[in-house]
Amino acid sequence: VAGYGFVSFLTDYGVDDGFVAACHGVLLSRASSVRVIDITHTVPPGNVRRGAAVLAQTLTWLPPAVHVAVVDPGVGTERRAIAVATPTAVLVGPDNGLLSWAWPALGGAQAAMLLNASTSLVRQVSHTFHGRDIFTPAAAALAIGADLRDLGQPLDITSLVRLPEPRSSVQPGVIEAEVVTIDRYGNVQLAATASQLQAAGFGVGMDVVVQTASTEYGARTGHTFASVERGRLVVLEDSAGHLAVASNRDSAARILHVSDGDVIIVRSRRQRTDG
């Protein structure tokens, strides 16, 4: 049958106000049997890049769904409201790059629509809360079986706003990569993948150097946090398949003083002694 049993929801609305619940209410008023999977609502206000990273890395673990994401500092301006179809899901949100790491992760964009059909709207569309007034109504319509084509006008997929891919490069003994994002534990996720660790010639259990813009730190490659002593740095493959710098029972981000988008170099200790 048409439609979706699940709607996922990611925003920067926070959890202290009633914004998330108002969206749940709009959704459930129109699609009463749908079930909502909240991803997070504490993306830092307006931080599109952080929202994009969490979204793309989480969606692959969800059942087929309509995925609504709203980090939207340009709400009420000319930025477009879009829906993007992938093989098993539909992404709904602002056309500001927020969704652009997610559709490749879900198998690629098959079609895109500019949301504007009057059927998707609530009483009167506000200028500041399109999550409630445009995006969740569209998701509700899709959940109960509406055809994507009934929600707006087709868009050229190549016209969609995309965030730049985080950079990484690998040479023998040296990996240079941007920080994609940092999690609750202070694990520093890099743009490099675990396979790049092998490509650089690193094995597991090797002493390495982690270098930031300002200083450098000793670390080891390992499988998990407890591969090193408490408070020491470990370079490992994280649960999303990325290379990450972590610390056993401590925050690597705090130790390294790094943030999203900073560049980190991981290199073999031998490399350094040779230099």
| 188 backbone φψ class: left, alpha, beta (φ>0; ψ -120 to 50) | beta
Binder of a copy of itself out of 95, 178, 238, 260 (CB under 8 A): 238
Q: Is 267 in the site for a copy of itself (CB under 8 A)?
A: no
61 lines the binding site for a copy of itself (CB under 8 A): yes
- Smallest separation, CB 171 to a copy of itself (Å): 26
Question: CA 268, 249, 62, 194: dihedral to nearest 10 degrees?
Answer: 10
39 binds a copy of itself (CB under 8 A): yes
User: Taking the CB of residue 160, how many other CB atoms lie within 10 A of it?
Assistant: 18
Q: What percent of the chain is helix, strand and coil (3-state, nearest 5)?
A: 25, 30, 45
Nearer residue to a copy of itself within complex by CB, 73 or 145: 73
Distance CA 115, CA 52 (A): 20
What are the φ and ψ backbone dihedral angles of 142, each rounded to 5 degrees? -65, -40
User: Using an 8 Å Cβ cutoff, are 177 and 169 in contact?
Assistant: yes
Q: Is 28 in the site for a copy of itself (CB under 8 A)?
A: yes
Does residue number 236 form part of the binding site for a copy of itself (CB under 8 A)? yes
Residues 65-124 that bind a copy of itself (CB under 8 A): 73-77
Q: Which stretch binds a copy of itself (CB under 8 A): 42-50, 98-106, 137-145, 256-264?
A: 42-50
Q: Least distance (Å) from a copy of itself to the CB of residue 214?
A: 26
Given the complex with a copy of itself, which of 23 and 83 has the nearer CB atom? 23
135 or 225, CB closer to a copy of itself?
A: 225
Q: Does 21 bind a copy of itself (CB under 8 A)?
A: yes
Site for a copy of itself contains 42 (CB under 8 A): yes
Sequence letter at residue 106: L
Q: Choose among 68, 91, 96: nearest CA to 80.
A: 96
Residue type, 162: R
Q: Is the dihedral of CA 149, 5, 136, 109 positive or negative?
A: negative
Nearer to a copy of itself, 48 or 174 (CB): 48
Contact in structure between 75 and 93 (CB atoms under 8 Å): no
Q: How many CB atoms lie within 10 A of CB 200?
A: 22
Binding piece for a copy of itself, criterion CB under 8 A, among 96-104, 105-113, 128-136, 211-219: 128-136
8 Å CB contact between 219 and 175: no
Distance CA 57, CA 101 (A): 9
Q: Using the rule CB under 8 A, which residue among 157, 173, 183, 265 binds a copy of itself?
A: 183
Work out how close the CB of 16 gets to a copy of itself at its nearest, in angstroms, rounded to a whole number: 5
Among the residue ranges 5-13, 92-100, 137-145, 209-217, the one whose residues contact a copy of itself (CB under 8 A): 5-13
Residues contributing to the site for a copy of itself (CB under 8 A): 5-6, 8, 10, 12-19, 21-26, 28-29, 32, 35, 37-43, 45-46, 54-55, 57-58, 61-63, 73-77, 126-129, 132-133, 183-185, 223-227, 236-239, 246, 248-249
